[in-house]
Amino acid sequence: MLCHNITVKGACGQCVSCRSWQGNEHPDLLRLRLVAGASSIGVQEVRDFIAAIAQTPFTARERIAVIEDLSYLTKAGFNALLKTLEEPSSASVIFLVAEVVETLLPTVRSRLQHCAFTPVSSSLIMKALQESGLDRSRSTELASLSNGLPGLALRWRSQPADLKAYEAAGQQFFDLFEGSLKTRFSFTEDIAKNDDLSLADWHGILSHWQLLLRDLLLLSIGEPGLISHTFLRSRLDEVAKTLQARDWLARYQMLEWLGWALDRNANRRLALNNFFITL
């Protein structure tokens, strides 16, 4: 869309415009991202972004606007965006990127064309990791753990601290499963008080728990080759034996209910406690 010499295969990749956007320096490529250290994207940031979209393109036929962290927009930010989504500039194309489309307001979803990106195969992710210099064993582990998200696997490859935090969170979930109600409720109190956690952060936590419960369900029906958290295999085997498949499925469904409740602004402390009582 920004290329000056489009070929039948798409962008040429060689013109000044292509080299500019590949280096994130193109004047007609606008990106709205979560600022480092911030927990949300506020209404003023959205308004400034909208003003930039409305400007005449500098060198391209149209301005390309990408909101990469859509789930982090505040409600006021979403509302400020609605009119632009309803009546966009004729010289602009707007891309909204979200990991969980259900977190978006219905008024936003109704104004969009949806394009779902399916998971990338583990073999391709493993190949990319090996080409980056990672050994085969570690590449296999990260490819399985990323569940089809190559960006996540590559981030863990370059930022081991993030991977260590993810692994620690997995261990913590099992500590909660095996712990007393007092331990679980204490965790709920601590996490419910954290005002820095956005709805997207909550969904990230619940998605991780869902993957762990999925692994337990797979082990309970005799499908160990499909699990994601291979580094937790011994603990998964131990825990999976404590319940039958239907019980793990019921807990998975309860976790889905928890996500549904949080999307509807339920009391987070009570919703979490209800889940932990059934866990």
In this predicted structure, what is the pLDDT of residue 134?
87
Question: What percentage of the chain carries pLDDT values higher than 90?
Answer: 24
In this predicted structure, what is the pLDDT of residue 221?
94
Of the CA atoms within 13 Å of residue 193, those in its CB half-sphere come to 6
pLDDT tens digits for 76-109? 888 888 888 888 888 889 998 887 777 677 877 8
* CB-CB contact of 206 with 224 (8 Å): no
First to last CA, the chain: 50
Domain range list for the chain: 16-109, 120-158, 159-278
Q: Using alpha carbons, select from 69, 37, 63, 61 the residue that is nearest to residue 50.
A: 63
In this predicted structure, what is the pLDDT of residue 265?
75
> What's the average model confidence in pLDDT over 22-49?
84
pLDDT of residue 2 exceeding 80: yes
* CB-CB contact of 112 with 94 (8 Å): no
pLDDT tens digits for 123-146? 999 998 998 888 888 898 889 888
| Residue 162 neighbours by CB under 8 Å, 6+ apart | 155, 156
Candidates 3.40.50, 1.20.1630, 1.20.272, 1.25.40; correct CATH number of 159-278? 1.20.272
CATH superfamily of 16-109: P-loop containing nucleotide triphosphate hydrolases (3.40.50.300)
In this predicted structure, what is the pLDDT of residue 268?
84
Most confident stretch, 29-33, 192-196, 218-222: 218-222
Under the banding of pLDDT at 50, 70 and 90, the label for residue 252 is very high
> What's the average model confidence in pLDDT over 151-170?
88
| Residue 118 or residue 264, greater confidence | 118
Sign of CA dihedral 247, 251, 252, 257: positive
pTM, full prediction: 0.66
